[in-house]
Structure 1
Amino acid sequence: MEGLLYKRWTLPFTVVPTALGTALDINLSNVSLVFISVTFATMCKSASPIFLLLFAFAFRLETPSIQLLGIILIISIGILLTVAKETEFEFWGFIFVMLADVMSGFRWCMTQILLQKESYGLKDPITFMSHVAPVMAVATFILSLIMDPWDEFKRNNYFNNSWHVFRSCLLMLFGGTLAFFMVLTEYILVSVTSAVTVTIAGVVKEAVTILVAVFYFHDQFTWLKGIGLLTIMIGVSLFNWYKYQKLQKGHTNENDEAMLLNSNAAAKYVILEEMDDVDDEI
């Protein structure tokens, strides 16, 4: 009974780092759009696999190797190509979107640990989201008070009359609903696979976002940016291929079967600390 009460008391504090990382990722990405275009921001966001790998190393979700370092180098070259000769380059916009990349890598690694580690009791994505969302909302509210010019609230074109207020609220409700189901889908993917799968889907999402920005917002898209984006996608694809090959090799190794007893899907990261525990038991 005491253990259950202790778990209920400590669980909200356990999800705080993940919730804060998620809130910072979303809000820093949005703030960056004040300074830079959607296309440029999306291309810079493609750097998130680099930080995903670094945090995966730090949290022992992945083992460092020469191949992975080479993949990080390829993605980094792609980012440099997208930034090179950027005529509308804004320092603070670039800094904000890169900080969002750091938070993205952190929060997805933490999300996977919380969703897949039995001891936390958060394997259900809905339960996990119910714990994370309140902290995210509070953090977003505080960041909004700090970053947004609230003195201009009534003077902007979105809230200067009753019709604009109604229309803006409908747009926010529609966007919020889409965001809710998008995040829930991502949590479901992470719970049964890994952050790698989310990264794969993210590459497709980024490509669609860039196409919409070019055709709808008429964002400038050069050949150099295209080559950079293609290089980033190749790097991400190589990372996913490397992970797939590693997992396939692990399935053929009888010694790894005991390590994978607690896994419910082949595509998961294997948390190295849990592997050590299994070795000790054997």
Structure 2
Amino acid sequence: MVRIIGFFVGLGFCLVLAIAFFTGAYNHITNPPAETAEKEFHLHPKPLALESNGPFGKYDRAQLQRGFQVFKEVCSACHSLKYVAFRDLRDLGYSEAEVKAIADQWVIQQPSVNPDTGEPSTRKSLPADRFPAPFANEVAARAANNNAVPPDLSLMAKARENGPAYIHSLLTGYRDQPAELLKKFPATKTPEGLHYNPYFPNLNLAMPPPLVSDGQVTYADGTKATVDQMSTDVSAFLAWTAEPKLERRHAIGVAAFVFLLVFSVLTYMAYQNIWASKKRELANA
């Protein structure tokens, strides 16, 4: 009896799934999704070749230092790195003295108030401090950025699909709206204060182009600072901030793979040795 009830319950479940499938397919065919500007004109990120890509990837320290320079001189005016401490920059090849000098360029606001002036107290950053936010609070951030809050960039390369490639494409993707878009979707004209970028999901974003011309940053190592080069370098740097232990993870993965390979070979050899006599006995039986 229980088996019969179970059979009919399973049959009813399969029937409901079939009805749902065919109903959804019929509705999709008879009422296809409406075309939208975002669906038709949104572009996927262009591939970005970084040395950290792939299972054996490693960071290019010189590129990370250039990317940090782009962040410091361009991006840090609006964006924060709240999950990165100044002392973490030693992983980029900076010495302790250089890290202290870099930290000294940032100011941290104290919760206390200066009794003489009534202004918030401040102090120079220390290597143990994390990068401070460029704005005192969300209200100040919105007031300075057309009512938009610039996101923290610490984990941006992990928060977006194809993170480094997305960042690079976004930074180099600013352009005028195509005439075809305005003709087909006239209501999607970019509002005042926003900027058209086909790599952004809804095509318009509040951030103006941060990298506008070659030579905007003068690299310490003499690399020519084209817009594409600066975008690539800062994308690599943000890949590091999102996953600073990537090289260690890759090394552990390779070691684990080698261990499993050797273990598998030894296991097979032990199997052959243990059962060799039994196989001979069965063959002679």
Please give the TM-score of this superposition, normalised by the length of structure 2. 0.25
Q: Which has the larger radius of gyration?
A: 2
Q: Which has the higher contact order (CA 8 A, sep 6+)?
A: 1
| Structure richer in strand, relative to its length | 2
